[in-house]
Amino acid sequence: MTEHTVGYLIGSLSKDSINRRLATALISLAPDNLIFTEIETGDLPLYNRDLDADYPEPAQRLKEHLGSVDAFLFVTPEFNRAIPGTLKNAIDWGSRPWGSNSFSRKPSAVIGASPGKIGTAVAQQHLRSVLGFCDSPQMGAPEAYIHYTEGLVADDGSVTVPEVEEFLSDWMARFSEFVGRVRAVIPPEE
């Protein structure tokens, strides 16, 4: 199996985020051909088109990191029925300046956890719309809206509910297959 480097972006800045716990669990359940690297977004200034000609250092680092990966995994909470501002800001920086979109032609998947019964369904649809505009091929199915309950993911990243662990393991296997298919059919732009 071909190895692929996956940049994962966590929509929450909180160190105790349930989505950070979910990301840890997903990485531990992923097939061995996926190599993960976290793409940090917390130090970015707010996107401003006036800075396109002279990107600030944090945005330059972000662009380099986005450019170095083969695919993206977005693990996001839902804030006010949308994606968090920090995640949208990172996507704005990464997709600019015009003509240098770091998400174009790179496969992506969206998942998220919430204490609410519908997980992060609305935020995920919002994010899918943004990624569609950014020309990132998306894994459409299976969808994954994780209803997070206390203790679902242990400190070491293990999932404590066998049915959820099996679902997440299968989801990551499908993501690996999806990345392989997209990378075989849509080579990255030079």
pTM over cut 0.75: yes
**pLDDT value at 190 more than 70:** no
CATH H-level, domain 4-185: superfamily: Flavodoxin domain (3.40.50.360)
Per-domain residue ranges for the chain?
A: 4-185
User: In whole angstroms, what is the distance from residue 2 CA to residue 188 CA?
Assistant: 15
Write out pLDDT tens, residues 112-155. Answer: 999 988 889 999 999 999 999 999 999 999 999 999 999 999 98
Task: Report how far Cα 67 is from the mean position of its chain's Cα atoms.
Answer: 14
Write out pLDDT tens, residues 39-63. Answer: 999 999 999 999 999 999 999 999 9
Write out pLDDT tens, residues 153-184. Answer: 998 899 999 999 999 999 999 999 999 999 99
Q: What is the DSSP letter of 31?
A: -
